[in-house]
Structure 1
Amino acid sequence: MKQLFLILFLCGISLTSFAQRIIMSGVDLQQPANIGHRDTIDQAVQLEVFFDQVDVDTILKSTVTYNLMLQLGEKYSQYCSYGEYRIDSLIYATKGHPTLGEFQEVMTKYFRRPSYGFVHEYGTPTFRENHTLMMNRYRADDSTVVMNWQMHPDTLRVCGLLCHKATTHFRGHDWTVWWTEEVPIDAGPWKFHGLPGLILKAQDAKGLHLIEATAMRQPLLPLINCRKQGFRKVTPAFLRKEEKAVALNYAERAKALGMFEVKSAGPKRHFYSPYEEEE
C-alpha cells in the first residue's frame, strides 16, 4: 500500500471520477481514507492570508517558490503549505470521512511543500513544528522564539495595507519585516511574531529568503487542526540537525529507506536553504 501511494504521488496521476466505484491496481477508491487523527485547537479562525515563500540554495544555484497559508484564529495561528490546508479543508467538508479517491485527488493536485508547518499560541514564545523528512515524521516544540525588534520610520504597502518596517537578528539571519497596524494580531509567517500587528513581508539580508503576502480573505476553513498521531517528538536541535543531514545525503537516505535505488555510491545533495543557522 505504501508503495502504491508513493508511485501515485511521484507520477502525479490525476484521479477524477468519484461518482462511480473505481478500482485501480486493486485499490477501491471509494473506501475511507486513513488520514490519522487531527486535534482541533481553534474553532474561530478570523482571517486567512496567502503567502509566497521564495528560498534560495546557493550551492545548487536553485530557487524554489512555495505557496503557503497563514490561518489566524482566536488563540492560535498556523502557517502551513497550501496543500496541507486543502487536506484540512477536505476533512472538514467531509465531516472527517473523505474517501481514498477524494484524498488522493487533493494529494496529487496540490503541492504539499514545504513539508513542515508551525502552530503558534498568541502571547507565547512557543512554536510547535510538524516536519516530514522523507518518510519520517517529527514534532518539536520550540519554546525560545524571542525576537528583539528595532522599529524604523519607513512604510510600504503590502496587499493594499500600510505596513511599517522592523528589523531583527535571529539565529544566524538579519531580517527586515513589514507589519501592519490594520490587523492588530501578533502573528506572521514562519516563526515571526512579537510586533503590534500582522507581519506581511519578511526578507533576510543574505537574499536567501523572501516571504510576502499575496492575498487575504475571510476564512473558508473556520478551524485549525494540529496533528500529533504518527509524529515522533524530538527537540528543535535534533530536527535542525536531521533536516541538514537528510538534505546533504538525500540519495543515500532514500536508498536506505528503500524508496529507490541509487546508482552512484556518493551522497547526492537535496535542496537546502535553512532559516536557522548556528552562530
Structure 2
Amino acid sequence: MDDEDGYFGKSVAATYDESSAEMFAADVVGPAVEVLARLAGGGRALELGIGTGRIALPLAGRGVPVHGIDLSRAMVDRLRAKPGGGDIGVTLGDFATTRVDGTFSVAYLVFNTLMNLTSQQAQVDCFRNVAAHLAPGGSFVVEVMVPELRKLPPGQTAVPFHVSPTRWAFDVYDVATQALSSHYFDAVDGHGSHESIPFRYVWPAELDLMAQLAGLRLRERWAGWAGEPFTSESHRHVSIWEKPAGG
C-alpha cells in the first residue's frame, strides 16, 4: 500500500478504469450525471473521492463546474491525463475534513466511496463537512450499498461477489463493529496475488441520523439513479439530503 495515497496508490490507479469497466459504461454513468446536473442547476458541484473522473468528466461536459477532493495523488494524476481532466480543480486530502473555497449547489459521494471512511466518527465528520460546503438549498447525494447481512447464515462471515477463472472476490463482515473488508485473489500466468481493502458498512437509517446531526434533511431515497422505489429488497440506494434554504 502507498501510505500517501491510501489504498488507491499507483498500482491500483494504473488499472482502476479497466478493473471497474462496468461502472464506466454509458448506461451506468449517464443516469447519475443526469441527476447530478439537474441538482446542480446553474451552480457548482463538489465530488468527494473524485478518483479518475468517472462522473466528474461527463458532468463537467454538461457545463457544470466541478471541484473534487481525493486522498490519492495517483488517481488524480490519471484524471489529469484524460481530455478535460486538467480543467477540473482538485484538492488533495481526506474528504471527511478537507475544506475548499466557495459553496456548492450539490455535493456527491458515489460507488460505495463513503465506506472508505472506516469509522462512524469519520462518516459523521463527512456529513458535517459537506453541510459546511453546501449553499442553502443545496443537496448531498450518496450512492452506497445496503449491507448484505441477509446472505450470512449463522457462523459465516464471508460473502462472495465475484468468481471467475482468474479472479475470486469476497467481502468479510464483522457485525459487531460494522467493519467490512473486500478481498481480491487474482491468478495471472500461474501467479497469484491478494489485495484487501477495509471499509465500514452503514445503514440508511444511520445515514439519516448523520445527516440530521449535520443539519440536513432527507429529500429522496431511490434504489438506483433512475428513481426506482427503495424497498427491503434493494441492494443499494441513492439518497439525497438537502440543506434547508434558510440554513
After TM superposition, the score normalised by the length of structure 1 is 0.27
Of Structure 1 and Structure 2, the greater helix share is in 2
**Which structure is larger by alpha-carbon Rg, 1 or 2?**
1
Of Structure 1 and Structure 2, the greater strand share is in 1
After TM superposition, the score normalised by the length of structure 2 is 0.29
With CA pairs under 8 Å and 6+ residues apart, which has the higher RCO, 1 or 2?
1
